[in-house]
């Protein structure tokens, strides 16, 4: 369920018409519904209510805006971070350091030190050497780093290749059959408290079967580690639940996911950690845009909008589908291609799609843009960095400014030797 609906023939986010935000803030603009974020956070938690000990760490990468993080902190979520920048955001939004998990395959020594000094709750190690370095850095400082070892269960998540992470040829985690040996070597080091294991096999998963297969392998590993005398108190099951992007998409509900997890983990006797991203954020945001031109094309016209691949990269990068909906639909439809102003053919949001009929000057939105939308935006073609607005009830606020080309140019220099 979300809070994007039509009222008096016009798309609203909660109680605010999209046209009002577009008039005040301009387009393109991301618009988030705080109530939808809250609801998704609650539904995910309720889905896991049969599990005894649960820690929820929202995967900040999906949507790191600090207003969003503030809402999720209110809902009792901690954070899964993959850089010190994300850690700083979580802390700035009021999340407690002990509720922060640090994932990521390339944490630098400086990042490990910053996270140790902040006192974060868990480091998810991606290779043995990282564990040895972390132990040493912690020990030197008189600290003990809480950690898990991320294992690669060699499961095909059945999702887009660019967002699959759990096959053995992917860069993530350690081979599951080598985990015991690594555990033996790392667990004895001063400076580290190896509490368990972590896994994450991919994103936008439409089927629970690969998750179940991965979790079963992790369960076998937990038994094996215990058999070898290790104390295992935590297992991090990652994120990955898919969301519907178009009508007719059927995705596993959090309740079905929770039921599967409860069944697979019933004898584990650990604290289970989760890192949901897209399932919380995806359908809590839209990207509002204005139609610049409707340009005649060979088979269909091109609807050229003022949003582009630099604002919403997913279609160019993963051929992802985002529904396109007119803010004031007339009831008429048209066959069209939808593209942005950036100078490459990849800047295309859709080809040969039946959409609401639109003309120059009309407003529309790309739906399901709350996850991996604004956070992946760039200033390519010297376009401004897209702003973000949050709505709650009848209020709205700009929660990230549009960063103008002038501001970006002001951060650049011509070296002295080139000045005449």
Pairing of strands 145-152, 122-125: parallel
**Residues near ligand LLP (CB under 6 A), total:** 22
Q: Which two tokens stand for residue 57?
A: 């760490």
**Residue 238 sits in the site that holds ligand LLP (CB under 6 A):** yes
How far are the Cα atoms of 148, 329, 338, 354 from residue 332, in angstroms, in the given order?
A: 55, 7, 17, 10
CB of 125 to ligand LLP, least distance (A): 12
Output Rg (C-alpha) for the chain, integer angstroms.
23
Judged by beta carbon, residue 80 or residue 130, the one nearer ligand LLP is 80
CA distance 293 to 304: 5
Using CB under 6 A, which of 64, 131, 276, 370 touches ligand LLP? Answer: 276
Q: Is 343 a residue of the active site?
A: yes
Q: Which of 299, 343, 414, 418 is catalytic?
A: 343
Judged by beta carbon, residue 14 or residue 99, the one nearer ligand LLP is 99
CA distance 14 to 213: 39
CB of 58 to ligand LLP, least distance (A): 9
End-to-end CA distance of the chain: 61
Using CB under 6 A, which of 39, 314, 367, 383 touches ligand LLP? Answer: 314
240 annotated ligand-binding residue: yes
CA distance 281 to 284: 5
**Residue 182 sits in the site that holds ligand LLP (CB under 6 A):** no
* Contacting range for ligand LLP; rule: CB under 6 A; set: 58-66, 215-223, 263-271, 351-359: 58-66
**Residue 310 sits in the site that holds ligand LLP (CB under 6 A):** no
**Residue 164 sits in the site that holds ligand LLP (CB under 6 A):** no
Residue 412 DSSP SS3: coil
CA distance 333 to 358: 8
- Residue for token digits 């010297």? 382
Q: Which two tokens stand for residue 38?
A: 């809250």
396 backbone dihedrals φ, ψ, rounded to 5°: -145, 155
277 annotated ligand-binding residue: yes
Binding mask 187-206 for ligand LLP (x = CB under 6 A): -------------x--xx--
CB of 51 to ligand LLP, least distance (A): 17
* Contacting range for ligand LLP; rule: CB under 6 A; set: 39-47, 218-226, 239-247, 347-355: 239-247
> Are the beta carbons of 199 and 175 closer than 8 angstroms?
no
231 annotated ligand-binding residue: no
276 annotated ligand-binding residue: yes
**Residue 64 sits in the site that holds ligand LLP (CB under 6 A):** no
CB of 165 to ligand LLP, least distance (A): 6
Q: Which two tokens stand for residue 20?
A: 């009002």
Residue 379 DSSP SS3: coil
- Residue for token digits 């049969």? 50
215 annotated ligand-binding residue: no
> Are the beta carbons of 364 and 289 closer than 8 angstroms?
yes
Site for ligand LLP in 78-137 (CB under 6 A): 80, 103
Listed residue (300, 279, 313, 242) closest to 30, CA to CA: 313
Judged by beta carbon, residue 86 or residue 392, the one nearer ligand LLP is 86
**Residue 323 sits in the site that holds ligand LLP (CB under 6 A):** no
**Residue 372 sits in the site that holds ligand LLP (CB under 6 A):** yes
> What are 368's strand-pairing partners?
none
> What are 389's strand-pairing partners?
31, 398
Q: Which two tokens stand for residue 11?
A: 């798309």
Using CB under 6 A, which of 45, 278, 322, 383 touches ligand LLP? Answer: 278
Active site residues: 343
Binding site, annotated residues for pyridoxal 5'-phosphate: 240, 275-278, 372
Sites of contact with ligand LLP (CB under 6 A): 59, 61-62, 80, 103, 163, 165, 200, 203-204, 238-241, 275-279, 314, 318, 372
Binding-site residue positions for substrate: 278, 314, 318, 344, 372
């Amino acid at each position: 369920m979300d809070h994007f609906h039509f009222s008096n023939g016009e798309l609203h986010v909660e109680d605010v018409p999209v046209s009002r935000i577009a008039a005040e803030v301009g387009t393109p603009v991301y618009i988030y519904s705080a109530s939808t974020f809250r609801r998704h956070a609650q539904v995910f938690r309720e889905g896991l209510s049969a599990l005894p000990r649960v820690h929820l760490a929202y995967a900040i990468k999906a949507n790191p805006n600090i207003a969003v993080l503030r809402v999720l902190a209110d809902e009792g979520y901690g954070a899964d971070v993959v850089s010190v920048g994300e850690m700083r955001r979580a802390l700035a939004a009021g999340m407690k350091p002990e509720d922060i998990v640090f994932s990521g395959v390339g944490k630098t020594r400086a990042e490990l030190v910053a996270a140790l000094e902040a006192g974060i709750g868990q480091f998810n190690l991606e290779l043995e050497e990282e564990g040895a370095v972390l132990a040493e850095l912690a020990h030197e400082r008189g600290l003990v780093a809480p950690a898990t070892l991320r294992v690669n269960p060699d499961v095909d998540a059945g999702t887009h290749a660019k967002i699959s992470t759990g096959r053995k040829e992917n860069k993530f985690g350690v081979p599951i059959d080598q985990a015991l040996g690594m555990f033996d070597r790392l667990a004895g080091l001063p400076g580290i408290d190896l509490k368990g294991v972590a896994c994450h096999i991919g994103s936008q998963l439409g089927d629970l079967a690969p998750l179940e297969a991965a979790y079963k392998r992790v369960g076998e590993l937990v038994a094996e580690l215990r058999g070898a005398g290790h104390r295992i108190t935590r297992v991090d099951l990652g994120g990955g639940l898919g969301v519907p992007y178009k009508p007719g998409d059927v995705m596993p509900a959090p309740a079905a996911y929770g039921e599967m997890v409860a069944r697979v983990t019933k004898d584990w006797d650990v604290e289970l950690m989760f890192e949901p991203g897209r399932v919380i954020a995806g359908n809590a945001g839209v990207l509002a845009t204005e139609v610049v031109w409707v340009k005649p094309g060979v088979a269909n016209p091109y609807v050229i909008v003022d949003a582009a691949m630099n604002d919403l990269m997913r279609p160019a990068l993963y051929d992802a589908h985002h529904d396109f909906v007119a803010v004031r639909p007339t009831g008429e439809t048209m066959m069209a291609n939808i593209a942005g102003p950036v100078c490459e053919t990849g800047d295309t949001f859709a080809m040969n799609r039946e959409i609401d009929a639109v003309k120059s000057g009309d407003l529309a939105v790309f739906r399901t843009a709350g996850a991996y939308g604004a956070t992946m935006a760039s200033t390519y073609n010297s376009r401004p960095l897209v702003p973000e607005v949050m709505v709650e009830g009848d209020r709205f606020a700009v929660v990230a400014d549009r960063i103008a080309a002038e501001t970006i140019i002001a951060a650049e220099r011509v070296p002295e030797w080139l000045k005449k």
